[in-house]
Amino acid sequence: MANVNNSGEREQWGSKIGFILAAAGSAVGLGNLWKFPYMAGKNGGGAFVLVYFVMLFLVGFTLMLAEIVVGRHTQLNAIGAYRKIRKNWAWVGALGVLAGFIILSFYSVVGGWVTAYLVKALSGGLKITDAQTLGNMFGQLISDARTPIFYHAIFMIATLLIVYGGIGGGIEKASKIMMPALFIIIIILVLRSVTLPGAFKGIEYLFVPDFSKINIGVILDALGQVFFSLSLGMGCMITYGSYLSKDTNIPESAVTIPLIDTAVALLAGLAVLPAVFAFGFEPAAGPGLVFITFPAVFAKMPLGGIFSILFFVLVLFAALTSSISLLEVVVAYVVDEWKIKRKIATVALAFIIFLIGIPASLSFGPWAHIKVLGDRGFFDTYDFISSNILLPLGGLLLCIFVGWVWGTDKAVKEASNDGQLEFKLAPFWSFLVKYVAPVAIAIVFVRSLIG
C-alpha cells in the first residue's frame, strides 16, 4: 500500500509547476540566505560562483536526477524504493529517513527563532542599530528555557498543518504560495539593498572574480555548498519523485530545481551583502547575519521596519518549504510501510520530532553544560550526525546504487519515459553518476569528518 488519497490511489502532484516549486522549496533553505553569500565573498567572489555552477552541474544535477528517477520508478518512500529495486539495500533509504528525522528536530528550533524574530519585527522590537545590543538580544532568546521551545512548537505546528493536507492539498498548495512570495520579497529586498549608498562594495564582494583565490579548498567549499544546499542524499527527492506521473520530464526538472535554488542563493547575496557593506558591517556567516547584522542594517534604513518584516517573512518561508519536505520523508515511510493513515502519522511524528528538538533548544541555555559527542551539545550533535555523516554517506551510496547496482541503463530508461523523451545527456550523466559524483562526494565526506 502506498501513500493514498480518498480514491485509494497513490497521490500525485497536481501539476508540473507544483512539483518543481515544492522540490525547489525543499532545496531552498536557511543556508541559501546566510551561507552562500558569505562563502562566495570569502572564496573569490565571481570566481567561486563560476566554480559553484560547474559543481552544480557535475554533482547537483547528477544526484537530483538519480533521486527523482528512483522515486518515480518505484512510487515508494525512500526505504521502500531501495527495497523494491534491491531488497538488501533498504538500509540506505533508512539513512535518509533517519537524516530527515534528526535534521527537522533541530531545524525546527531555528525555525522557531525565525518565528520569534518575525513577531519582534511586527511589534517594532527590532529598531536597534547597535550590533552588540542585538547580539545580546539574540543570546537571551536562545538561552532562555521556555520561549524558544514555545516558538519551536509554533513552527512545528505550521509544518504539521501543511503536510497534514497531503501532497496536492497541503505541500503543493503551500509551495505555490510560498515560493512565488519568496521570490517577490527577495527581489524587493534586492532593489532596496543595491540602491543604498556604498552598496557597490557588496556587489563587488559577491560577483567580481578573483581567480587567484581558486585552489583545492575553494573547489571543495563549492562542492560542499552544492551538496548541502540541495539537501541531497536524504531521500527527499526520492519521496517527492514518487508522487510524479509517468509522463513527467525528469531531466528537465532535475536541471530546473538546482537552478531555482541557485537563483535564490544569488538573489540572497544581492539582498544581503550590498546592505551589509553600505552600513559598514561584517558579512560574517551563520545565524549572526540573520539575527544580529541584518536587523541592525534595517534599523538604519528608511522604512526599515517594513523591510525587516519582509525579510523575516522571507526567511520563515525558506525554512518552512524545507521543513515540510523533511517531515514528508518520514511521514511517507510510516504511511507506506506501517499502513498508518497520513493524518495520524503526521501528527504523531511531528510531536515526536518536536520532543526530540527540545534538548537541541535547551543546549543553548540550561543544558549548555551537557556534552553528547565530544565537546558538542545536543544541537551540534544532531547537526554533525546528519550533515557530516548521514547526508554525504547517503549521497555516496545513492551514486553506487544507481550507477553500479541498479544500473544506469535502467535509470536512463526511466528518465527518458521508456524512450519517449530524448535524453541527450544520458551517456554523460551515466559517466558522472558512476565515476565523478561518487569520488567528489567521498572527498566531501572525508573532509566533513575531519573538519
Q: Extract the C-alpha cell encoding 115.
A: 518565528
Residue 300's pLDDT is what? 84
Q: Which residues pair with 373 in a beta bridge?
A: 376
Q: Is the CB of residue 126 less than 8 Å from the CB of residue 299?
A: yes
Q: 3-state SS string over 393-428?
A: HHHHHHHHHHHHHHHHHHHHHHHCCCCCCCCCCHHH
Residue 37's pLDDT is what? 85
Q: Which residues pair with 347 in a beta bridge?
A: none
CA distance 271 to 277: 11
User: Which residues neighbour 6 within 8 Å (Cβ) at sequence distance 6 or greater?
Assistant: none
Q: Which residues pair with 376 in a beta bridge?
A: 373
C-alpha dihedral, 378 to 148 to 269 to 124, nearest 10°: -160
| Domains in the chain: boundaries | 16-450
Sign of CA dihedral 372, 375, 379, 384: negative
The class of domain 16-450 in CATH terms is mainly alpha
CA distance 116 to 114: 5
Alpha helices in 86-130 (DSSP H): 90-122
Q: Which residues pair with 4 in a beta bridge?
A: 10
pLDDT beneath 70, residues of the chain? 1-9, 284-285, 451
CA distance 214 to 226: 16
CA distance 158 to 445: 33
CA distance 304 to 373: 42
Pick the closest to residue 220 from 48, 399, 428 (CA basis): 48
Pick the closest to residue 426 from 66, 9, 17, 86 (CA basis): 66
Q: Is the CB of residue 310 less than 8 Å from the CB of residue 298?
A: no
